[in-house]
């Protein structure tokens, strides 16, 4: 591990922290300047039963009577220490509410990522070995088809076919193994399209390189050539793509959970939006930003370790992440 990598890592970590900080500040400012005070809407409604003195006491206890910069500093300090505040509707800690539903969303997102990887590598493998007239052209068009169909449409089709028609899972048991699998398929199909596109393009590029021609000339079989020589260099840019699709997995899981009736972060966000529970919304948005930035940071840090051809640039991602080698020519 040389000084160039240490300097690159320190710069990327600093940039990630700045992005997280700016995201939290932006979210706080947007919530603060939104029209309609949620405290007023909640406490001064005819059904609340609070007196004006009690309302003022609650506002003071929440620190909402202080200047915005002071509120921001207090909120940011609490966020750094893991204190996400309290729900304005249930008066429960926001961290507890998120912890109760987060495992379900993580299981769905991780399973969907596994489904996406299997589909993407299967499609890429098929484009190398299936005869062109027996499906290779169809497989190359599959990623475009996957991207054109929203995941909620795929989910509805899967529920109708495998839930109602074939009876493989019960729609009133959304957390069962089969229901989770089909929800992951609905979420993973659009995500697999981006991975497959990058993998197919890089496989085509690697297959044209001189080392591949030499390997074929020595009588190396297609399967061994694919596994031993083409797959690793072609799959390295997939690390970057996977990191970039984390946001799609997080956003898509919210919709998929609603379609399949799962209790997760999506249902928590839906309830918070309908009840104007802003502390919960701000915490979810901020944590989603932390996860997205952390995964992309991890991809940036491990990429130079996986590919010795990577040239560490002054800014942005390593050169190989964009399909360039250290020499600046196609990898």
Give the count of alpha carbons within 13 A of 33, CB side only: 6
Mark the ranges of the chain whose per-residue pLDDT is less than 50. Answer: 314-316, 319-331
DSSP class of residue 124 equals: H
CA distance 196 to 216: 24
DSSP string, 198-242: HHHHHHHHHHTSHHHHHHHHTT--HHHHIIIIIHHHHHHHHHHHH
What is the structure's pLDDT at 273?
80
Question: Any idea of the CA torsion for 243, 248, 253, 255, to the nearest 10 degrees?
Answer: 180
Give the residue carrying structure tokens 């202080």: 66
Structure tokens at 11: 């710069």
What is the structure's pLDDT at 134?
63
* Best CA proximity match to 142, nearest among 122, 118, 115, 123: 123
Residue 224: Cβ within 10 Å count: 11
What is the structure's pLDDT at 37?
58
What is the structure's pLDDT at 238?
84
DSSP string, 8-47: HHHHHHHHHHHHHHHHHHHHHHHHHHSSS-HHHHHHTSTT
DSSP string, 151-199: HHHHHHHHIIIIIIIS-SS-TT-TTSHHHHHHHHHHHHHHHHHHHHHHH
Structure tokens at 151: 């995941």
Q: Is there a contact between 246 and 240 (Cβ–Cβ < 8 Å)?
A: no
* Best CA proximity match to 42, nearest among 277, 279, 280: 277
Q: For 258, left (φ over 0), alpha (ψ -120 to 50), or beta? A: alpha
- List, in sequence order, every residue forming a beta bridge with 324; answer none if it has no partner: 330
pLDDT digits (tens, 9 = 90+) for 206-256: 888 888 888 777 877 777 777 777 777 877 788 888 888 887 888 788 889
């Amino acid at each position: 591990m040389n000084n160039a990598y240490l300097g690159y890592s320190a710069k990327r970590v600093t940039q990630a922290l700045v992005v997280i900080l700016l995201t939290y500040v932006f979210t706080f400012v947007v919530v603060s300047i939104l029209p309609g005070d949620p405290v007023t809407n909640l406490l001064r409604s005819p059904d609340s039963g609070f007196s004006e003195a009690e309302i003022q006491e609650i506002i003071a206890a929440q620190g909402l009577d202080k200047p915005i910069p002071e509120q921001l500093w207090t909120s940011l300090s609490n966020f750094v220490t893991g204190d996400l505040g309290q729900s304005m509707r249930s008066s429960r800690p926001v961290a507890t509410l998120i912890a109760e539903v987060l495992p379900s969303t993580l299981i769905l997102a991780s399973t969907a990522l596994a489904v996406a990887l299997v589909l993407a590598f299967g499609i890429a493998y098929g484009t190398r070995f299936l005869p062109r007239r027996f499906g290779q052209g169809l497989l190359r068009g599959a990623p475009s088809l996957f991207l054109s169909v929203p995941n909620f449409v795929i989910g509805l089709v899967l529920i109708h076919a495998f839930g109602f028609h074939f009876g493989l899972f019960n729609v009133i048991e959304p957390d069962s193994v089969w229901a989770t699998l089909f929800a992951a398929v609905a979420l993973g199909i659009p995500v697999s399209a981006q991975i497959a596109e990058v993998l197919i393009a890089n496989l085509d590029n690697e297959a044209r390189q001189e080392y591949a021609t030499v390997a074929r000339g020595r009588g190396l079989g297609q399967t061994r050539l694919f596994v031993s020589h083409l797959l690793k260099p072609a799959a390295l840019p997939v690390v970057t793509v996977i990191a970039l699709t984390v946001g799609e997995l997080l956003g898509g899981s919210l919709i998929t959970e609603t379609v399949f009736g799962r209790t997760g972060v999506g249902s928590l966000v839906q309830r918070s939006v309908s009840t104007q529970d802003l502390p919960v919304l701000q915490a979810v948005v901020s944590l989603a930003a932390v996860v997205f930035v952390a995964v992309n940071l991890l991809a940036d840090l491990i990429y130079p370790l996986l590919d010795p051809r990577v040239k560490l640039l002054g800014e942005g991602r390593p050169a190989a992440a964009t399909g360039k080698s250290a020499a600046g020519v196609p990898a």
